[in-house]
Amino acid sequence: MSKQSWTVPNQSDRVFVITGANSGLGLATTLELARKGARVILAVRDEAKGRRAVARITADQPAARLEVRRLDLADLDMVRAFAVRLRADGVRPDVLVNNAGVMAPPRTLSAQGHELQFAVNHLGHFALTGLLFDLLAQGNDPRVVTVTSTNHRQGRIFFDDLAGEHGYSPMRFYNQSKFANAAFGWELHRRLTAAGSPVRSVLAHPGYTATNLQTSAPIGLVKLVFGRILSPLAQSPDRGALPQLYAAAAAEVDSGHFLGPGGPAELRGAPKRVPLAPAAADAQTGRRLWDLSERLTGVRFAIPDAG
């Protein structure tokens, strides 16, 4: 199902919340949706960078409907405050794109004491999805798009050392967070399907894309490998964003689909359906991660677990 000539259809009747929308894949996604008439909430950690992104987009699309709101996914209190404000202001999102991420920092703990990559890439998005779920369920063709990576296939959850106290490796714990993204997206799909919910849970990955995620990584080896040695293989952010745009807007996408580039090794190319690691679709692992995430975030989804 590779979509060489696919373009985003008109989105003027839909509202999107996109995390990490001020740069890289998030910015490319926001720009394309703005071109198609969508209203987009840019959920960003740095509001000044968000405003600069809006200025850049409106220079291209003067009629763009964009709004910057602060969201630090590393702080669960701020995730709650973001959701409360969104609700109080009457914003009714149709699509949530869980796009933001951090990659390979030295061992760092979040405001609540969780390993930073797991906190930002997974727990913050899990909480945000749960806090907005009832609004999404009322939306127009509602979807949750969770952005993972091919690295999820090398990952697993270190349930006995979640915060890396006894053996932290930046890339190993990045892989854990990307595995968590994949397992969460699939488990959410399973629960939505069992409950007969109209919301679709769709997964996407960008292949190898030139963004500041790799080049701003504080670990020198990651910068060297991804920022220089492999950079000639990278595709541009507007190309890398196609799988998540397709996941968010293509009519034929079903809940549970995983979209990525259709080229060799899924590094680049037009979006197509790609395989999820079997371990990420394991029901026992999915339930265990879900239960753990509920406990760590204090967020419960308004959908039953049908078993």
pLDDT tens-place values along the chain, 307 residues long = 445 568 999 999 999 999 999 999 999 999 999 999 999 999 999 999 999 999 999 999 999 999 999 999 999 999 999 999 999 999 999 999 999 999 999 999 999 999 999 999 999 999 999 999 999 999 999 999 999 999 999 999 999 999 999 999 999 999 999 999 999 999 999 999 999 999 999 999 999 987 766 445 555 555 555 555 566 678 999 999 999 999 999 999 999 999 999 999 999 999 999 999 999 999 999 999 999 999 999 999 988 665 5
With b for 16 or more beta-carbon neighbours within 10 A and e for fewer, the 206-218 pattern comes to bbbbbbebbeebe
Query: Among all residues, which ones are annotated catalytic?
Result: 174
Torsion sign, CA atoms 246, 133, 201, 44: positive
For residue 306, the tally of other CB atoms under 10 A from its CB is: 10
Instruction: Annotate 34-68 with b (16+ C-beta within 10 A) or e (fewer).
Output: bbbbbbbbbbbbeeebbeebbeebeeebeebebeb
Tell me how far apart the alpha carbons of residues 58 and 65 are, in angstroms, rounded to a whole number.
9
